[in-house]
Every structure is written in structure tokens, then in C-alpha cells.
Amino acid sequence: MFDFVWNLGSFIVALGILITAHEYGHFWVARKCGVKVERFSIGFGKAIWRKVGKDGTEYVVAMIPLGGYVKMLDERVEDVPEHLKDQAFNRKSVWQRIAIVAAGPVANFIFAIFALYIMYLIGVPSIKPVIDSVKADTPAAVVQLNDKPEEILAVDGQKVRNWEEVNLALMAEIGSPSIELTLAPLDRVQDAGNSRSFTLDTRDWKFDPDKQLPSTSLGLNAYRPAITPVIAVVSDGSAAAKAGMEKGDLIVAVDGKPYPGWNAFAKSIRGSADKAMNITVRRDGEQLQLTVTPEAAEGADGKTVGVMGIAPTAENWPENMRLQMQYGIVDAFGAALDKTWKLMDVSVRMFGKLLTGDVSVKNLSGPISIAQGAGNSAEFGLVYFLGFLALISVNLGIVNLLPLPVLDGGHLMYYLVEVVTGKPVPEKIQEIGFRFGAALLLMLMSVALFNDFARL
């Protein structure tokens, strides 16, 4: 219940911020172009707060936080008094109307830069993209590793600094016949001429973003600190908690045999749903015999697996693999610009791959997935929430620029036709376009919602 409330609250806060930024873009440019704004609303439906400003605009916060709008004076919608006609949206030049409509998505991109700027000023703890091994019979099998850990320096010539940037760059290459990785030994990255490049054959690359990261699906095994047999977490109400297992317990043996290592132990747990396991632990210098019966649960593949409700302790990350992405007042702006551009580039490419079929519509996400992402990022801290806001803001801006008549991009398409032909698109054609766009958008939203429920 707490997770639901937390995710919902984070979702409302995130969406409220992003909608406000988007609509304020329309509002600000409309005012600068001399258009009278009658209402600035965050949300739809019944108003829960309203105020009329000195400028005559009614500011509203409504009950349904799934969008917003800026209502401008417009003769196509209602009768306008003669003395106010020069303030009507439809009376403005086509270039002014283009500026007003485009201002919403542009505001989303500006907000993303701002959010990332604050994030980089605060500093983001990160981990270098170090490869521990590669899987056989995968595209990454061609990578020949040295005895020492290897760091990924670039993906198809694009420099990367952490695993997030690696996976972002790899996502942009979905559908490409090959991907080039540039690597260097971790302790010799700065040595000139020490890097090596490998070309991965990705013609048969299969990637399911719901189940794995792009790097993992290619066969790249990221370095992970060694896992110790000491229990770090015991979930309340779990099978382990009911059996008396506690945080700090050292696992000595499993079913009378020496502790086999975490991976083998986890595999045994998954295969022991509703079956008792005898666990020997050492606590305060004494050995205890505990009988734990993993609870049955549905795994990612739909099969029944055992769940014990524990997590192990891992050794600390080596200092030379840690990365603190923090910049000064000037450099943080450059880093924010660069990151925003990369997010925009990947978003546009992913929409293109949806059209070509390289990416399945099963990967579309709706409000439930966004709410979960908002809750998870907020739980990790402010810098991660800012990064999440930037990502969603960029996607919101890109989506609104799609040439669907019900979106900003559709209006811009009509205005560009007007620029070329010298006359506006007939209202009957616009109305047909709006109906088609609304139907297509509703279909996409339905698919996204279906995908959300399928992931629950």
C-alpha cells in the first residue's frame, strides 16, 4: 500500500511539474505575441483551486492531473468583442502562431536542461562501464579481454562514461547490422594508443527491454563486487523472517553442504518453492540451524519460483571504478546540454524504430510504468528524480512534436502548409485530421496501458 501511495504521489508531482513547464511555454509566448489568455489550467475536470490574476487570466488546478491547457481568445471557438479581436490567436500571423504552438515542446527541452544542470551541480555518483567477462554465442563473444578489467570508452564512436550512457548509446543502435565498441584496460585508459575496437555483429540481436539491459542482451557482463555470504536485508514478513533469519547472519551451509556461493544458493531457492531448506548460519559466534520454506511466486517467465526474502552483502566498489559526475557552474550547463541532446536523439530514433518494426509496440509504456519510475527514482534521491524528470520531459516534448493533428506537431504541420500555400488548411480537412489523430492517439494509449498491466 505504501509503495502505491508513494508511486502515485511521485507521479502526480512529476507530471504536475512537466505539464506546468509545457503549458507555461505556450502561455509565455502567447502573451509576448499579444494574445489574450483566458485560462491557464493544470489538469482537467473540476477545479480544486482557481484564481484570477491581475492580467485577467484565470489560473486553475483541476482534479484530473493527466494534462493541462492554455485557453486563448480565438474567434474560431467563440464570439470575440470587436475591441479584443486584435488579441485573438487566429488574428496573429502564421509565424506567431507557430511560435506559440512550438513553445510548449521547447519549454520541455529547456526544463530538461535545467533539471540536468541542477543534477550535475549536486553531483551524481556513478560507476565506470567495466566489463568482467563476455558470454559465449552472443554478439559480444568477439570481444577479447585481457587479464585485467576492461573499460568501455565509446559505442560507435560516441564517448561513454558510465553504464547508463553505454545502454543509452546501445539502444540508439537497435536495428543496426553492427556496433563498434572501443575498450581499454581500466588502469591504462589514459595511455595513448592503448584502446582496442571490436565490431559486434548485431543482425540477429534480440533485445527485450522488459527483461534485460541492452548491454546484457549483447553478452557483456558488467563487473560486480564480490558477493559475501553475509545477509544484508531480510524482508519483513518473508519466509526468511518467519524462520528467524536476521540481518548480519553468515551463511555457513545449505542442506548440510558447504555454502556454494550466492548464485548457486539463489538458484536453489528459486527451485525450492514451498519446499523446506535447512540453512546453517553463524550469529554472534554461534551456529544456528534454521528451516526456511521459500514462498511460491510467479517469475518473469510466468513459471513458479521460490522466494526467500533476503539479499546478500557485497564488497565495496574499487575506488578506480567509481565516478562522481559533478561539475562547476559553467561546465554543468555544457554537460546538461550534451545529455539533453543525447536523450532527444535516442527518443527520436526509438520512435523511428517503432515505425520500422525494429522496436516492438510491446515496449511502449503508459502512466503506470511512469508512476513506478517516478516512485523508484524519488526513493533513490533528488539527483535521480531530476534525471527521471529530464528523461520524461524530453519524451513529452518529442511526443508533442509528432505530426498528429491533436498534438502540437499536428498544428505545426497545418501552419507549415499555410506558410507554403499562403492560405490556411480548410477547417473541414483539419476536423477530419483531428478525428484521425485522436483515434490513433487513443489506440497508442490503449496499447501502452495494456503493456503496463501486463508488466504488473
Cell numbers that stand for 213 in this block: 539491459
Note the pLDDT of residue 331.
Answer: 93
CA 198, CA 143: separation in Å to the nearest integer? Answer: 6
**Helices in 82-173 by DSSP H: which ranges?**
94-122, 163-171
Q: What is the pLDDT of residue 4?
A: 60
| Total residues belonging to the chain | 456
Instruction: State the cell numbers at 253.
Output: 551451509
Contact 55, 36 (CB under 8 A): no
Indicate if 23 belongs to the active site: yes
Longest CA–CA span in the chain (Å) reads: 91
Residue type, 200: L
Catalytic option among 23, 150, 151, 173? 23
pTM over 0.95: no
pLDDT of residue 3: 60
Give the domains, in start order, of the chain with CATH numbers.
2-33+92-123+388-455 (no CATH), 125-225+316-325 (2.30.42.10), 227-314 (2.30.42.10)
| pLDDT of 366 | 47
Tens-level pLDDT at each residue, the chain (456 residues): 556 666 667 777 788 888 999 999 999 999 999 999 999 999 888 888 999 888 888 999 988 877 888 999 988 888 888 888 889 888 899 999 999 999 999 999 999 999 999 999 999 888 899 998 888 888 888 888 877 778 899 998 888 888 888 888 888 888 888 999 999 887 765 555 678 889 988 888 877 766 778 888 888 888 888 889 899 988 888 999 999 999 999 999 999 899 998 888 889 999 888 899 999 999 998 999 999 999 988 776 678 888 999 999 988 888 888 888 889 999 999 999 999 998 888 888 877 777 766 665 555 554 545 555 555 555 557 888 888 889 889 988 998 888 887 788 888 998 898 898 888 888 888 788 777 777 776 776 665 555 555 555
